[in-house]
């Protein structure tokens, strides 16, 4: 055989060997990616569960103490747990309203109790001609207040 043919055969064998090794590395790399994806999904689910438990614990403390309990979860934690609304009670007219957390213009690291001092009742502000800012945080909610999902009670037995 001529040398050129041997060289070309040698190159193709070497190339085939390198290609086979690269294919093996690619398979290992794909398996590693799948493992990383699965671990990431498990971490997301664990974070969501931890946020849900933190929000439920804060809601129970809020109802038991009947006032702002600190530390409170962050806006991001509440949204991640599926609690999209904050229930607020106006001290002037004693009405309960829900505030959508996804439209609050604060960083997601803001604690839930911090924006309380900026909240004001629209009805009381119109009656008194100045921004009425007296309110109490009641609880975090998954849905708005409606006939099928009434306002929260402070403690068992209150109506």
Question: How does pLDDT run across 67-98, given as a tens digit for each residue?
Answer: 667 788 899 999 999 998 988 888 778 788 88
User: What's the pLDDT score for residue 2?
Assistant: 43
Q: What is the mean pLDDT of the chain?
A: 75
Asked if residue 52 belongs to a domain, the reply is yes
More confident residue, 145 or 153: 145
Per the structure, the complete domain to which residue 42 belongs is given by 1-150
* Domain assignment of residue 9, yes or no: yes
Which residue, 157, 122, 140, 136, is CA-closest to 80?
Answer: 140
List, for residues 20-34, the tens digit of each pLDDT value: 566 565 566 767 777
Residue 158 is assigned to a structural domain of this protein: no
156 part of a folded domain:
no
Q: 32 in helix, strand or coil?
A: helix
How far apart (Å, rounded) are the C-alpha atoms in residues 84 and 86?
7
Instruction: Say if CB 74 and CB 109 are below 8 A apart.
Output: yes
Residues 6+ away with beta carbon under 8 Å from 12: none
Does residue 59 belong to any structural domain of this protein?
yes
Angle made by CA atoms 140, 144, 150, in degrees to the nearest 5: 90
Residue 159 lies in a domain: no
> Residue 88 and residue 159: Cα distance in Å, rounded?
16
Domain count, the chain: 1
> Is residue 98 situated within a structural domain?
yes
Which pLDDT score is estimated for 147? 65
In a domain, 140, yes or no: yes
């Amino acid at each position: 055989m001529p040398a050129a043919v041997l060289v070309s055969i040698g190159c193709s064998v070497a190339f085939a060997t390198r290609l086979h090794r690269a294919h093996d590395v690619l398979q290992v790399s794909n398996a590693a990616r799948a493992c990383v994806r699965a671990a990431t999904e498990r971490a997301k689910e664990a974070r969501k569960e931890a946020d849900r438990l933190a929000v439920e614990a804060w809601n129970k403390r809020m109802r038991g103490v009947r006032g702002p309990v600190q530390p409170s979860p962050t806006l991001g934690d509440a949204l991640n747990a599926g609690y999209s609304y904050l229930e607020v009670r106006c001290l002037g007219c004693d009405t309960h309203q829900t505030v959508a957390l996804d439209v609050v213009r604060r960083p997601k690291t803001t604690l839930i109790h911090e924006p309380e001092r900026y909240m004001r009742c629209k009805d009381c502000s119109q009656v008194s001609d100045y921004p009425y800012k007296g309110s109490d945080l009641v609880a975090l909610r998954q849905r708005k207040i409606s006939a099928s999902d009434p306002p929260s009670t402070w403690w068992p037995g209150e109506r």
